[in-house]
Amino acid sequence: MTISDDDKTSDPPVRLEGSVKTVKRSDRGIELVLRIRNPGDRALHCISDLRGLLYDPATRRLTVRLTDEGRILLPSAVARLPRFAVIDPHSDAEIAVRLPAKIVKLADTPSPAGDVSMEEHSILDASEIEVDIAWADTPFYQDSRDVDDPRFPAVRWQQDALHLSRPMRSRKR
């Protein structure tokens, strides 16, 4: 008796799980500890260092990005590869991420004179934190072949992203 492909049952794909374990604020910035869990039978790999930081002062939402997804690769820029963590099967890991107290970004509108202007924001005032973590079930390796793909190498590697969210307590002044 042979089993056809239609008769085979496949387990749903294993997904990385996690939570924001701790958020510590100080005058120097924020330290996050992310608790990551791998419920599956094979190792999972994730980006373990900060790749982007977005802050919306209107909503006071801070987005911490441990993914290159959405970043623009500039032709003349050097693209530094991220660090990765391995989460063994049926185990947990913690990733610590340090954030600066303030970020400086280009203003949405130019100055009255038409010059480029910058805005400084204190992320210590955030009321909500979101974290996006890129992951895959295969290790990352730098492909030495020429690729006609404008995305960052880690984006081509990324299988999925883990999205975490946590409200932040009001800051004591």
Query: How confident is the prediction along the chain (173 residues), in pLDDT tens digits per residue?
Result: 445 455 455 566 789 999 999 999 999 999 999 999 999 999 999 999 999 999 999 999 999 999 999 877 666 666 788 999 999 999 999 999 999 999 998 888 888 888 888 999 999 999 999 999 999 999 998 777 777 777 788 888 899 999 999 998 876 65
Question: Strand 91-100's sheet: what is its strand order?
Answer: 17-26, 29-38, 91-100
Alpha helices in the chain (DSSP H): 153-157
Q: Residue 1's pLDDT is what?
A: 47
Model pTM?
Answer: 0.84
**Which residues lie below 8 Å from residue 22, measured CB to CB, with a gap of 6+?**
31, 32, 33
What integer pLDDT is reported at residue 147 of this predicted model? 73
Topology (CATH) of 17-107+118-167: Immunoglobulin-like (2.60.40)
